[in-house]
Structure 1
Amino acid sequence: MSDLIRVVPSAPRRWPLALASFGWLLALLISLPAIAQKAPPKTADVYVDGAGVLRWQGSKEEVALFGVNYTTPFAHSYRAHRRLGVSPEQGIDQDVYHLSRLGIDAFRVHVWDVEISDTLGNVLENEHLRLLDYLLQRLKQRGIKTVLTPIAYWGNGYPEPDTAQTGFSAIYPKARAYNNPRAIRAQENYLRQFLNHRNQYTGLLLRDDPDIIAYEVCNEPHYRQPEAEVSEFVQRMVAAMRATGYKKPIFYNLAESPAVANAILGSPVQGFTFQWYPSALVNGHTLRGNLLPLVQQYPIPYAQDPRFAGKPRLVYEFESADILQPVMYPLMARSFRSAGFQWATQFAYDPLTLAYANTEYQTHYLNLTYTPAKAISLLIAGKVFRRVKRNQPFATYPQDSTFEDFRVSYRNGLSELNTPEEFYYTSTTTTAPRKPAALRRVAGTGSSPLVQYQGTGAYFLDRLAPGVWRLEVMPDAIPVRDPFAKTSLRQPVTRISWNTQPLRLELPGLGTDFTVRGLNEGNTFQDQASGGTVALRPGAYVVAARGKSTAAYTAQTQLGAIKLGEFVAPAATNLPTQVMHTPPAQLPAGQPALLRATVAGAEPTDSVLLIAQHFYGPTRTIPMRRPTLTTAEATVPAELLYPGLLRYWVVVKHSQQTTTFPGGFAGSPRDWDYAPQDHWETPIVTTGAPLPLFEAAQDQQRVETGGVNGSGWSDYVTTGSGRLALRLLQAPTPASPPAFFDPQAPVAFLRAYFGDRLAARATEAGNFRELVLRARRGGGAGPVRLVLTTRDAAAYATEVTVGPELQEIRVPLTAFRPAQQVLLPRPYPSFLPMTFRADGPPILPLAQAEVLQILLAPAAASATSERPYLDVESVELR
């Protein structure tokens, strides 16, 4: 991954020269025409007004900044860059360009104090601190503001073992760091020295840098009673920081230790920080289904407390973990603004160097190149955050999925912004831009009325003058593994292809015979479109109506915080051809079946064939269509789909070479000596056959399961017949329940997505009459509730009686009535809502159903020592 195409060539410079260069850059930025996005003030500090609102000095405008955390100077990210042969400075340059391209104006990170301090809290002038300085300088040059958290309390290993660590956090864990006298003194010493550290690139003390607008003292502290210890610790940390002469706001985490919230609310800090992980963390696979109810509001339990209401609030970390759908961020941003937040930073943006493998934090995955649609959704979310008014109310989802200039559609996998000047979209859309002639910026993936493109990478269009645009096209990103499963630097989860593909533009004033000229380093492309279409490789281009001179636009021409010729993308992934496919759980007999696969590394001239065989029956070789360079599809004829088992393979023919998938083996299954046994298969079922929604023996990697807020857990056990069952268990009742503990909430759950399975039998959806649960209950377990939710987030529920012996429980679908769903996986922090209800038809619309929830309610007091449990072998529709 060290072979990276980039044009951000600037050697590190010491601070006097850097300041001179930065002044030149500021002059350029200030003189920019209206094509530049509105940015925060270049040099203004912030202050908190009498109403507790964070504002810019001078203009007195409210602060509203949106961005990311990013960690290359530290820990695994730093080590992985070195291991892959990419200098951290090069990585920072690449990533900060992409952040700027996404409109980011906020950066936050918890500093790995364990890597830049000793056990007494002395700051070490080492490589990690130098790289933090370098990163802060690069962010400053792009106009991105910073909030720093100097104390992280983290080891530096994850996901690896910790390496040699020198700092105080290596000997004082966070649960003791606030009441151990030596630890407290070390932290006071460290904070004083950290704020007085002089950035060797900007020449500014960290406490004086106007682009560092605030500090959060420490990351996610773990406190317990008594509150007096917490109060004293917070006061001492604030005093240590103020003793340096630092005058800007100091924030403190209020979400992590609610048991001592009073101590923090009553402390001398100027504001409070929160996080949001609405889909929990580390589910181990991609979550599916409509998860937008998880992010439709962020109610704060302290909102009416005058000690809280009069101070600003920030979101230091947020993420829709284990979710690739490009629809979550815009609604999260809107919910933040409704809750009064003025800063929100996602955790964490994946460095370009590592994003091919997603090793830094497997439960998070965000990178412009490798997750283009999700990245564009972050761009749109930033617009939401800056445009929605603080404390602005909204109706409950799904009534408000279209608001102001924004639209979010789960069904279309689409987030969209449509204003007279900007048109952004995360997926193919048919929406017409509001005022095409007024457009200044376009960005998206897929196609729209303005851009028709079959590639999977993102693209950006910025108007330079009437009839003249800058076009940036990213390479294709092709998922090859679930990025949220266990990761390794030896295992790509997404591969990159530099394909030349047709791109059609229909921009006002551009015409159909526009000219195209390459701008980025090494890009000598020049051509003229025909019929509005031109075939392009990834890169940066100036596009102009025929007859328009573009001589004034060079690679060095400034456009907002970027230059026209800047372009950053990884080289094409050097791997053999791959074919990715998941077989359907069932196929209906007697009906043609369309099978689709993702193809990576195949040339446009390669042949792709589907070889389909009814087990020990007839075999057919079917040419596969190539709707795009990265997809292939073929229809299996009905004559092959009589009840039984369909086995099939995909064969890629390149020149004289034939390769068969799954497995990537040489040869074809039709060869007499083709020995590999790998194949895909799916059962062919008759009308009326049961449809499995959950099978414990097969679906462990498809479902989410566990306890709710510490009240339970889950396991897999075998029943008397030797079959596997999911066990939901109730945890022992805590002697002191945690804050926000709901004794009436479920103790454990199963969430199973089955929308794809039902879609394969869509023509029969109206024929199913009952849900059949094979289960048993023991240990005095509480009631069992079944919930089915639809694509529009409406829920239908019923309670069932489960006995102590394994049995089939037949539940008529008519027993399911409109109800609320439990928000699963459980959001964090734990004070967030437990349930959600959306209106739907009075009768369960089974054809729209996609998720099953099984909820184990808390048991009454039990006379036995056995843990209450529910075992579930299977659930199916009949």
Structure 2
Amino acid sequence: MPLFSLCRLAATLFQQRTALCFLAFSLLISISTQAQSPPPAKADVYLDAKGVMRWQGSKQEVALFGVNYTAPFAHSYRSIKKLGMKPEQAIEQDVYHLSRLDIDAFRVHVWDVEITDTLGNVLENEHLRLLDYLIQQLKQRRIKIILTPIAYWGNGYPEKDTAQTGFSSIYPKGRAYNNPRAIKAQENYLAQFLNHRNQYTGQLNREDPDIIAYEVCNEPHYRQPEAEVSTFVQRMVQAMRATGYKKPIFYNIAESPAVANAILNSPVQGFTFQWYPSALVGGHTLRGNLLPLVDSYPIPYAKDPRFSSKPRMVYEFESADILQPVAYPMMARSFRSAGFQWATQFAYDPLAIAFANTEYQTHYLNLAYTPAKALSLLIAGKVFRQVKLGQQFATYPADSVFNDFRISYRAAVSELNTPEEFYYTSSTTTQPRKLAALRRLAGTGSSPAVHYEGTGAYFLDRLATGVWRLEVMPDAIAIRDPFATTSLRQAVTRIVWNTQPMQLTLPGLGSDFAVRGLNAGNSFQAQATSSTVRLQPGVYLVSARGKSTAAFTAETMLGAIKLGEFVAPPATDLPTQVMHTAPTQLATGQPAVLQATIAGAAATDSVMLVAQHYYGRTRTLPMRRLTLTTAEATVPADLLYPGLLRYWIVVKRNGTSTTFPGGFRGSPLSWDYAPREHYEASVVAPGSALPLYVAALDQQRTETGGINGGGWADYVTSSNGQLALRLLQSPPPASPIPFSDPTAPVAFLRAYFGDRLATRAADAANFRELVIRGRRGAGAGTVRLVLTTRDAEAYVADVDLPAEMQEVRVPLTAFRPGAQLLLPRPYPSFLPLSFQANGPVALPLAQAEVLQVLLGPAAQSAADARPFLDLESIYLR
């Protein structure tokens, strides 16, 4: 045997022995931590007689949950390069974080426009190489893959398309399936892509056991006749099978429902769907209880035997424009109830550019920058793997506690609580189910097991009795609305590396445990006092006093990660910032608590609120530092008499004052303080009207538009010069819109007012009517008002508006229990339009937080003008 072969054999035996040791160690530390076994390292999938995907060998059902991620392509690639970072390093960092979130599924629509020529020949270029590298990194973390080779997308968004070489640059999506040259290019490309050999793994794409399936193309746009669609799908499947590829082929059935029969009758082995329950690109953060939007995912083809006998996957989902950490777990549960075996969020933001959220403005997910939402994805993965395929649940809110999970909109928390695992997205008082058996913990904020005032995520993994691995991420502080217009020139989230106390109450640890740094450059060593130690972000070995930890080094493996691995962005290089939104109204004669978020202020800095009744007395009030990043002050009642309160927040460091809003040097108490910026709030007497919606002021905090193509929205000026929102009915469609309801409302206004009502809580019982100033024109249909509560109960009242602009009063007693419309309108369009939860017979106004105004369809469409509704304002009085 040649020397090389002998060396290789010796190395193989050593690796096998090492692998056995590693396996034994992994079993010791994780045998009880998984609700479901992780996906096998090397196993293909097959379909059983009922069309369920299972793993070869174990025959266990496939249930994989994860993300899309786009660093090798398009805007992500260009931005990473623009910021001076190597894409390989960015991929390594992000895949580590995905592993830390227990992600086991990855999907992406490959930007064919960047890796092919116009004939469909695969180009061995940088984008393809980076996809190969990404696949290798995912495989090392035991993350399974489904690829969609054909994207049809240009590579520009949100910029202009640039340097496109592929067939999708000349064949638009709506013609790619019936243009002979386009079809030939796609056949050529699919064959070459499946036969591409990954230059890092050495495996052909079609043979890689970790690429468990393919979806042919991304969101195809088809129209009648169905025969053209059938022919195209058959040719794509034949091109893939001709390579020798034997695993499942999936196809999108949600995007073009008008030709669903062509997909159902095709030779594909599975079907794909997406879910955007809050629509896309709202332009600002959505507020209110949006959990009814994700209560269920009914599929119109569910009982069709052509559908029910095949597996289904969710290639993309997202709670777009939502930061609340409660939607993902409920979505995961709804997916399992609907029979899905794969679900991947779109899209995980690369760490390198997540500070600005430029990749997709309407999406925002990253462990470092959106820690609570990222942990909700971790919990959602547990939901997806624990809930049985097809398992049904009661309608929300009855099922907000199910299995080992708790989802609470009111507490803004998602939780997983088993004897071995305890995860939470926000501070919670929930007790771990069995503290002595706890093996894994992750959270933000505080719990009975961990007290921490930072805003970053942390992870605790038990390695042995009295020995834990602790990973602490830096503070993430929102400084701008991430769903507004974004730019690489401005951050939306700020990273701060604060040193803060952490108190641990964990089994076997004691109150005087030892702590030592593990990650590169972290030489920290300390002993806890009263179970508390001050830490900065990093990875630590935490052990009971006197416990030997010599067996644990930075290179020791913990599942798919090394103990010493740590990835976190550097501190954001910005001056001190204060984030605060002034209330619309304050109640007269009552003390008012004003809170602010502060970034970049040291614990020794003082924070003051300078409050002034306009042209009246001025008061300097110290702000209490609740944490390093939050402060509050109480404005006394004697300063809150009817009128206008204006105020400033001043941060003082080493004798130098910085005043907000604006971040100006100096103090508003100084005679020469020139900036005119200030916060202000109206101080109103009991009985004063409360604005729920004012068209001239509320464009950036409300949602408006059409419903299923039935209408649209605009702003106009009324006869008295005031700005009004106009809801209009669309012209009749040339052909029927699939799944549309002709009796459904055509346009809507959705306005969150929960924060406004909170400042007038004492007056809630005294309001008697809702006053709407508006008008209907051109034969417009009915106008319905809907008030929804924190618990998603809805109360409805119809109002008859005249043709001329005027005030119309609606007694609150006129509101009766009813259904709310699911707004913004979910996509796909076959999803439910309305939702109704049981609640008290009478409207509990103190719990109300969202107003909907719905324009119904006109009884008869006007020939010369579009039916419309104009709204100037809506008040509680």
TM-score interval, normalised by the smaller of the two chains: over 0.9
Match of 1:35 in 2: 29
Q: Which amino acid aligns with 1:33?
A: L
The answer on whether the counterparts of 2:250 and 2:271 sit within 8 Å (CA) in structure 1 is: yes
Aligned-residue offset at 1:35: 2.6
Alignment of 1:794-809 (within 5 A): 794-809=793-808
Any idea what the Cα deviations from partners look like across 1:411-469, whole Å, max 9, x if unmatched? Answer: 00010000000000000110111111111000000000000000000000000001100
Q: Which amino acid aligns with 2:311?
A: P
Q: Which amino acid aligns with 1:639?
A: D
Aligned-residue offset at 1:862: 3.4
Match of 1:458 in 2: 457
Match of 1:5 in 2: none
Matching of residue 118 in structure 1 with residue 117 in structure 2: yes
Alignment of 1:296-375 (within 5 A): 296-375=295-374
With over 3 angstroms needed to count, the CA separation of the structure-2 counterparts of 1:541 and 1:863, relative to structure 1, is closer
Q: Which amino acid aligns with 1:440?
A: R
The answer on whether the counterparts of 1:405 and 1:418 sit within 8 Å (CA) in structure 2 is: yes
Gaps of 5+ in 2: 1-8
The DSSP-based 3-state class of the residue aligned with 1:373 is helix
C-alpha distance in structure 2 between counterparts of 1:277 and 1:515, whole Å: 47
Match of 1:827 in 2: 826
Match of 2:4 in 1: none
Q: Which amino acid aligns with 1:583?
A: A
Q: Name the stretch that deviates more: 860-869 or 52-61.
A: 860-869
The answer on whether the counterparts of 1:728 and 1:748 sit within 8 Å (CA) in structure 2 is: yes
Matching of residue 445 in structure 1 with residue 444 in structure 2: yes
With over 3 angstroms needed to count, the CA separation of the structure-2 counterparts of 1:403 and 1:127, relative to structure 1, is same
Match of 1:715 in 2: 714
Aligned-residue offset at 1:28: 6.2
Q: Which amino acid aligns with 2:447?
A: S
**Once superposed, what is the RMSD of the aligned Cα atoms?**
1.5
Match of 1:504 in 2: 503
Matching of residue 650 in structure 1 with residue 649 in structure 2: yes
C-alpha distance in structure 1 between counterparts of 2:17 and 2:449, whole Å: 36
Aligned-residue offset at 1:164: 1.3
C-alpha distance in structure 2 between counterparts of 1:477 and 1:86, whole Å: 21
Match of 2:609 in 1: 610
C-alpha distance in structure 1 between counterparts of 2:20 and 2:728, whole Å: 64
Match of 1:198 in 2: 197
The answer on whether the counterparts of 1:779 and 1:864 sit within 8 Å (CA) in structure 2 is: no
With over 3 angstroms needed to count, the CA separation of the structure-2 counterparts of 1:491 and 1:22, relative to structure 1, is farther
Match of 1:11 in 2: none
The answer on whether the counterparts of 2:778 and 2:862 sit within 8 Å (CA) in structure 1 is: no
Aligned-residue offset at 1:273: 0.3
Q: Which amino acid aligns with 1:129?
A: L
With over 3 angstroms needed to count, the CA separation of the structure-2 counterparts of 1:21 and 1:580, relative to structure 1, is farther
With over 3 angstroms needed to count, the CA separation of the structure-2 counterparts of 1:27 and 1:482, relative to structure 1, is farther
Match of 1:751 in 2: 750
With over 3 angstroms needed to count, the CA separation of the structure-2 counterparts of 1:27 and 1:322, relative to structure 1, is farther
Match of 1:584 in 2: 583
Matching of residue 266 in structure 1 with residue 260 in structure 2: no
The answer on whether the counterparts of 2:650 and 2:660 sit within 8 Å (CA) in structure 1 is: yes
Q: Which amino acid aligns with 1:404?
A: N
Aligned-residue offset at 1:737: 1.5
Q: TM-score, with normalisation over the residues of structure 2?
A: 0.97
C-alpha distance in structure 1 between counterparts of 2:441 and 2:379, whole Å: 11
Match of 2:388 in 1: 389
Q: Which amino acid aligns with 2:27?
A: P
Any idea what the Cα deviations from partners look like across 1:825-852, whole Å, max 9, x if unmatched? Answer: 0000000000000000000000000000
Q: Number of residues paired by the alignment? A: 864
Alignment of 1:203-602 (within 5 A): 203-602=202-601
Any idea what the Cα deviations from partners look like across 1:333-376, whole Å, max 9, x if unmatched? Answer: 00000000000000000000010000000100000000000000
C-alpha distance in structure 1 between counterparts of 2:615 and 2:819, whole Å: 48
C-alpha distance in structure 1 between counterparts of 2:590 and 2:109, whole Å: 56
Moved over 4 A (4+): 18-29
The answer on whether the counterparts of 1:556 and 1:563 sit within 8 Å (CA) in structure 2 is: yes
C-alpha distance in structure 2 between counterparts of 1:689 and 1:342, whole Å: 54
The DSSP-based 3-state class of the residue aligned with 1:134 is helix
Match of 2:173 in 1: 174
Any idea what the Cα deviations from partners look like across 1:307-349, whole Å, max 9, x if unmatched? Answer: 0000000000000000000000000000000000000000000
With over 3 angstroms needed to count, the CA separation of the structure-2 counterparts of 1:489 and 1:243, relative to structure 1, is same
The DSSP-based 3-state class of the residue aligned with 1:520 is coil
Aligned-residue offset at 1:25: 8.5
Q: TM-score, with normalisation over the residues of structure 1?
A: 0.97
Q: Name the stretch that deviates more: 481-490 or 36-45.
A: 36-45
Aligned-residue offset at 1:215: 0.1
Q: Which amino acid aligns with 1:180?
A: N
Aligned-residue offset at 1:735: 2.0
Matching of residue 145 in structure 1 with residue 183 in structure 2: no
Any idea what the Cα deviations from partners look like across 1:678-707, whole Å, max 9, x if unmatched? Answer: 000010000000000000000000000000
The answer on whether the counterparts of 1:25 and 1:141 sit within 8 Å (CA) in structure 2 is: no
The answer on whether the counterparts of 1:56 and 1:62 sit within 8 Å (CA) in structure 2 is: yes
C-alpha distance in structure 2 between counterparts of 1:184 and 1:869, whole Å: 45
C-alpha distance in structure 2 between counterparts of 1:28 and 1:595, whole Å: 57
With over 3 angstroms needed to count, the CA separation of the structure-2 counterparts of 1:19 and 1:650, relative to structure 1, is farther
Q: Which amino acid aligns with 2:470?
A: L
Q: Name the stretch that deviates more: 828-837 or 18-27.
A: 18-27
C-alpha distance in structure 1 between counterparts of 2:822 and 2:325, whole Å: 19
Aligned-residue offset at 1:131: 0.1
Match of 1:858 in 2: 857
C-alpha distance in structure 2 between counterparts of 1:210 and 1:21, whole Å: 24
With over 3 angstroms needed to count, the CA separation of the structure-2 counterparts of 1:21 and 1:125, relative to structure 1, is farther
Any idea what the Cα deviations from partners look like across 1:485-535, whole Å, max 9, x if unmatched? Answer: 000000100000000000000111110000000000000000000000000
Q: Which amino acid aligns with 2:384?
A: F
Aligned-residue offset at 1:24: 8.9
The DSSP-based 3-state class of the residue aligned with 2:27 is coil
C-alpha distance in structure 1 between counterparts of 2:659 and 2:12, whole Å: 58
Q: Which amino acid aligns with 2:402?
A: F
Match of 2:735 in 1: 736
C-alpha distance in structure 1 between counterparts of 2:15 and 2:718, whole Å: 69
C-alpha distance in structure 2 between counterparts of 1:727 and 1:21, whole Å: 73
With over 3 angstroms needed to count, the CA separation of the structure-2 counterparts of 1:22 and 1:286, relative to structure 1, is farther
C-alpha distance in structure 2 between counterparts of 1:710 and 1:198, whole Å: 45
Aligned-residue offset at 1:785: 0.2
Any idea what the Cα deviations from partners look like across 1:758-801, whole Å, max 9, x if unmatched? Answer: 00000110000000000000011000000000000000001110
Q: Which amino acid aligns with 2:566?
A: F
The DSSP-based 3-state class of the residue aligned with 1:136 is helix
C-alpha distance in structure 1 between counterparts of 2:751 and 2:363, whole Å: 21
